[in-house]
Each structure stands twice: as structure tokens, then as C-alpha cells.
Amino acid sequence: MNRILNLIRQDIATALRDNLIIYMLIAPLLIAFGMKLFIPSVEQAGLSFAVADSASHQLVEQLQAYGTVELIKESELQGRVEKTDTIAGIIEKDNRITIIFEGNEPQQLIETYKAVIEEVTSKQSFAEITHRSLGKEGSILNELLTITMLMMAMLIGSIVSGFNIVAERDTKAINAIAVSPLTALQFITARGLLASLAATACAIGTSLIMAGTGINYLQLTVILLLSSLLTTLLALIVGASATNQIGAIAMIKLLTPIYLGLPILAFFLPDRFKYLFYWLPNYWQFQALGNIYFRFPLNVSLWHATLITLGLSGIYILAFSKFAGKKLNLR
């Protein structure tokens, strides 16, 4: 245990002397802060109307002056409103106009839609305007970006540990470790602990900025800790696949779309295609985090997704550790 702690202390000292690593650690927090300021303006950037095809041609033309209009069957209107973008459903029937909202829109945006409809119908005093909500809570854009930023923070935690391995390979310090009493298991454990600590700290800080205190941080911490094998795996991939910082940066460019992009892609795909992503531990990690941040139920529970993440990560790290041990000349 002392060998592991000594290696972790050496890694922390090395990281604090590297300006690039320090920047990477604070980058998720800076980006999260910028995103938090930017999201409200994005959600209110434009108006979109999903209009039932039974509406009058005059109403459709008038709405087109205020935003984009989609004509859709009334039976499909609720499903369209429930999609991930911000759009209001419009039904005109018997001189009555109903505006349908998902329920997670800012109140200011709801008032804007109502004001537009009132303006459009101002010359039609007989028109009655009502609105109803589908009961959704929370901003889907904010939730999705929060999960993405958390996973980015965890990736950066892995990169910090991976860069330390690369630095040791570049300076030939890994050769001294290889002939020391430190075993390959102890080396991987030390790297994994450092990566997990850095990732957990960055992720919790990012969540506090993006989501505040309105989520269960005990559950989040458990997910982050049980994702430590995935974090360790990413660190080993970077460290064992590159011999210098340029090579490490190239590996990061390859890992980022796989680690972040594929789970986000799966989120937008129909359910019948999601089985294609079941072999990815980061897909299940995204699902676990989604159970905390999304305000709608997912197809898999938080603990089910977390345990699958742990299991798949364990399988992959066992397989990759042999390759890493050979690349790093560890016993």
C-alpha cells in the first residue's frame, strides 16, 4: 500500500508542475460555467410551432411571421412536442386555440408563445386561447449538457493520469519503475486511484455549477466511484498507446468521440438501434447518470446501469492490462 501511495504522491507533484495538466483539470469547470450562462439564451433563441393540420391556412401564415411552423397530424402532435427540442403544439378547433407545452420550458418562453398567439388572434375577438402542459420538468438541453460535461470531466481525470504515464515513458523513468518492487497491479491501482480522484473532483464541481444542489450527490458519488475501472481503463489506453505528449494528444482526439459521442448518439436513436451500443461501458455510464439528471424515466435503472458499467469496465481492463504491462515493461 505504501508503494501505491508513494507513486500517487509523485504523480500529484508531477501534475502540479505541468501547466497543461493544471489547465486540463480546471477546463471542465470553466466550460461548465460558460455553458450555464449560455443555455438560457439557447433555449429562447427562436420560436417553433407544431400546428395540427386541421388549423386554418390563415393561422399558419400568421405564425410563420414569428417562427418556424411544422404541419402535423393532430394524433401525432403530443409526440412531436415531447421530443428533445423546444416546440409548442398548436390546435385550432371550434374558434378555440390550445397551446401545448412539454412542461420543462422557462416561464418567460411560455409567456412569449402566449403573447404571439394573442397577437395573431387580436383581430379575431371570438378566438379563445388556452394552454396546457404535458407535465415534463427540467430542461432537456441543460440535462444533456450536464451529463456530457460530467463525462468530459471524468475523461480529463483519466487523461491526467495517462499523461503522467506518458511523461514517465518519455523520460525513461518507467524503466526504473519496471525494475522496482512495484508490481503491474500496484502500478495500475495507483494510476487508477489518481485518475478516479481527479475525475470525481472535476465531475462533482461541474455538477454543482451546472445543476446546483438539486440532485442526489450521494448517488452521483457512488456512480463516479464505481466508474473508477472505466476511468482507469481510459488512463491506461492513453498511457500505453503514446510515448510522448503529441502521441497522447492524438490518442485523446480518438478517444473523445468514442467516449462522449457514441452515448449521445445512442440517446437520439430509436430504441430498436440501442442494442448496438450495449457493449460500451460508457453507454451504460451515460444511462446511469441520466437516471440522476433526466426528469423522465429511462429504460434501465440507475443501479442496473451502474453495475453493467462496472462489469464491462472490469472485463476490458483485465484484457487491456496485459497489453499495457507489455508496453510498459511491468512485471
- CA within 13 Å, CB half, 267: 26
User: What percentage of the chain reaches a pLDDT higher than 90?
Assistant: 17
Task: Say how far apart CA 92 and CA 292 lie, in whole Å.
Answer: 38
Mean pLDDT of 77-103: 82
Check pLDDT > 60 for residue 126. Answer: no
- pLDDT band for position 261 (50/70/90)? very high
Task: Please state which of the ranges 58-72, 78-92, 196-210, 298-312 shows the lowest mean pLDDT.
Answer: 78-92
Per-residue pLDDT tens for 139-167?
567 788 889 889 988 888 888 888 878 87
The per-residue DSSP string of 268-311 comes to: HS-GGGGGGGTT-HHHHHHHHHHHHH-SS--SS-HHHHHHHHHH
